[in-house]
Structure 1
Amino acid sequence: MKIIVPMAGRGSRLRPHTLTVPKPLIPIAGKPIVQRLVEDIAKVAGENIEEVAFIIGDFGDEVEKSLLQIAERLGAKGSIYRQEEALGTAHAIKCAEQSMTGNVVVAFADTLFRADFTLDTNSDGVIWVKKVEDPSAFGVVKLDDYGFITDFVEKPQTFVSDLAIIGIYYFNSGEKLMNEINHIMDNDIKVSGEYQLTTALENLRQKGAKFSLGKVDDWMDCGNKNATVETNSKILAYEKEEMSHFTSTCTIENSLIIPPCFIGENVKIMNSKIGPGVSVGNNTVIINSNIENSLIQENTKINHGNLSNSMIGNSAQYYGVSREISLGDYSVLDFLNKD
C-alpha cells in the first residue's frame, strides 16, 4: 500500500508559525503533524506501507530530507513531488501520478484523527468522514440504506448531509482514480475555479464504484492557532501514558509538571508550573512561569509567562504576564523591560 500526502498549501491561517516552517512539519506533542498522520494511517491500514509520496511546494532541501526520513521510519520508500500552482485537490494528486498505482491512501496533511477499525481493502474505496455542525465549508457525502455513498457534494450551500469528508481516502486502484482526474483536467471541469477530487469521486461512483465510510472517533484540525493548540492537548491526552515523563537530559527545579505534557530534550524548567496539555520543544528554558494548554517549540526562552491557549514558535523569547499569545519563530516580546 502507498500513502499519498498532498501538503503544498501555505498554511496562511496558522501564521506567523508557518512563515519559517511548513504547517505539516509543526510538532504536535513532539512529532510533526505529517509524521503523526502517516503513522496513524499505517496503524489503520494494517499492512505494509510500500511508499509515502509527499506533494510539496518550494519548501527547501532540509524539509525534503525530513519528509524522506519520516517515510524511512515506516520502512517505506519516500518520494517528493512538487505542486507549483494551487489548482485544487485533484490537481495536487495529479502531481504524484507516477506513484498512483495499486492500493493507495490519499491523506491531506492538515488534519489528525483517531479511529478504531480495520480498513476494508476489498471495497473500491473508503472515505473518512465526521459529522459536523456546518457542512457548507466541506465536501460531504450522502448515503443509501446500506451505508454506501450515493453522492459527493463539494461545499453545499443548502443542506444535503452533515457527513464531512475529512481529507483521508482509500482507493483499491490508484490507476482508476487517475483516469478520472485526467478526464476532468483534460476537459477543464472545475468547481469554484479548481479541479476537485470530489468531481473525480462522483464520476467513479456513477461508473459503478462502491465507496464505504471510514468513520473516525475524533477529527482534529490544525488549521489555525486555536485549533492546533487544542489538537496538541487532545493528542497529549490520548497518549497520556507516553507523555507523563521527561528524559534525564531535562533540568526541573522547584517546579510542578502536571500531566499530560510533552517535555523535549535538554529542557530547563525552574520555579514554574507546567501543564496540563503543554508541549515543550527541545532546548527550551522556562522560568517563573505558569503555563497550561499551550504549544511551545524548540530553543525558546520564557520568563514570567502566565500562559494558556498559547503557541510560541522556535528560537523565540517571551518575557511578560499575558494570558494568551501567538508568537512566531525568532520573535521577541518583552513586557518586563518596556524601556
Structure 2
Amino acid sequence: MQFPTNQNNSKSPAEMGEEQLLRPLIDVQTDLKAACLLKDAIARFSTGYLPSKSLENTQKLLGITVPTLRFIRRFPTLFHEFPHPKWPSLARFELTHVAKLLRQQEMKVFDECQTDLVERLCLLLTMSKSQMIPLQSIHPLKWDFGLPDDFDKNLVKRFPDHFQIVKGTNGLACLKLVQWREEFAVSELQKSNEKRGLESDNGADGRNAYKYREFKRGKSALEFAMSFPRGYGAQKKVKAWMEEFQKLPYISPYEDSRRIDPNSELVEKRVVGVLHEFLSLTIYKKTKRNYLRSLREELILPHRFTRLFTRYPGIFYLSLKCKTTTVALREGYRRGRLAERHPIA
C-alpha cells in the first residue's frame, strides 16, 4: 500500500493538533508519576526517610524537567523536609500524614483491581514470543499498566499458577507466564468489533457466534477506529489508503505470527494490531516510545516499527512534551480526556 503524504505542512499528520490535546494530561501525569515514585522510594527505606544525597542523578529516571531536589520541595503536602540526623547540613525527606493516608488508599485500590491487573499482565506476556519478558523491561511499565511497586514479589507469590521468575537465555531475570487459558486471549479490537456486531445484529445469536469465531481466527478484516487530524482524513488519497488497509485480514496479536509471509502487507497490519493492543492494555492508553523499543524482540516488532506511529495518524498520535516521546491511542481519548477511566487512573 502506498501511504499518502501531506506536503503542505512542515509537521507530520500525527503532530498536527494532538500535542495540544495531550499537553495538560502529560504535564499532570509526569509530576504525579514522579511524586509517586519518590513516595514509593521513601516507603521502601527502613529508616522511613530519603536522604537528599540519594536524589542526585535521579532527574532523568523520574522523567522530570527540573532537578529532583527542587521538584520534591514543590510538594510540602506530601514530603516533610528535615535536617539529616548525622549530617545536619544535608536534608532528608519523610512522608507526611497526608501522603501516608493516600498510600493506604492506593494500596486498597490495587487490591480491589488485582484481578484486572493480573489479567493485563498475563495478556502482555501472552503477546511475547516466549511468553516471558525481562523484569528490567517491565519495571518501567508499572505506571502504565497500573502495577503496584512490588508486583514482581507479591503478584508472583500470590499467583504462582500464573507467574514465575526464571532466568532468560541472556541471563536476565524474566517474568514468565505459567498458564493462561487461550479463550481469554482476545484482543480489544476483537471485543469492540464483537460488541458492535451484537448491537447491530441483536437476536442473531448463531451468526454472531460465527463472527466471533472468525474474529479469533483472524480471518475477518476487522476495522481499526480512526480519527484523523482536521482536514487530513478528508483527502481522497487518504480515504483510498484507509479503505485498502482496513480490508486486510486482521491477525490477532495473540496468534503465532511466524506463519505470515514476511513480505506480505499482513505483516504491517499485524504490527499495528500489536501496538494497538499494547496501548489498549495500559491504564492511560499511552506509553513512552522507548518502553516499546525495549520490548521489540519480545513482541516480534521490526527494527523501524516506530515509523508506524506517524504512518497511521488515524490510530496513534505522538507528543514530544517533557523531553520525551509519548505515543497514545487516539480512540482512548475524547477532547483530551480519557474516554474510559480505570479505577487506578
TM-score for the superposition, normalised by structure 1 = 0.24
Question: Between Structure 1 and Structure 2, which shows a larger proportion of strand residues?
Answer: 1
Q: Which has the larger radius of gyration?
A: 2
Relative contact order (alpha carbons < 8 A, sep ≥ 6): 1 or 2 greater? 2
Question: Between Structure 1 and Structure 2, which shows a larger proportion of helix residues?
Answer: 2
